[in-house]
Amino acid sequence: MREVLEDKLRVIAENSLTIEALRYIFGEVIEKEKPDIETTDDNTALGERYRAYLQAKILVEKVFLKIDSYNTKKNDLEEINRGK
């Protein structure tokens, strides 16, 4: 089963439009969940919420870096370009 999932990740990684669409939707959802500043918030509560927000952004970026590692097509293109 793992091979099937890795093949799907390769397909996603090699399609830049799919990656762009996924980045867009993840970014949109994260931005909608961005914490609001309430007048009753103390610094600790506000800091915790913003830290969680920033951590979510970092985790999503790490996921895209991992997906990009499955992209075998980009490596082939780099080798072709070097030969020019």
Count of domains forming the chain: 1
Q: 46: exposed, middle or buried (C-beta count within 10 Å: 0-12, 13-18, 19+)? A: middle
The 10s digit of each residue's pLDDT in 34-75 is 888 888 888 998 899 999 999 999 999 999 999 999 998 865
pLDDT, position 59:
96
- Beta carbons of 12 and 19 less than 8 angstroms apart: yes
What is the pTM assigned to this prediction?
0.74
Report pLDDT for 36. Answer: 85
Write out pLDDT tens, residues 64-79: 999 999 998 865 555 5
Residue 27, domain extent: 2-82
**Closest by Cα among 45, 27, 26 to 37:** 45
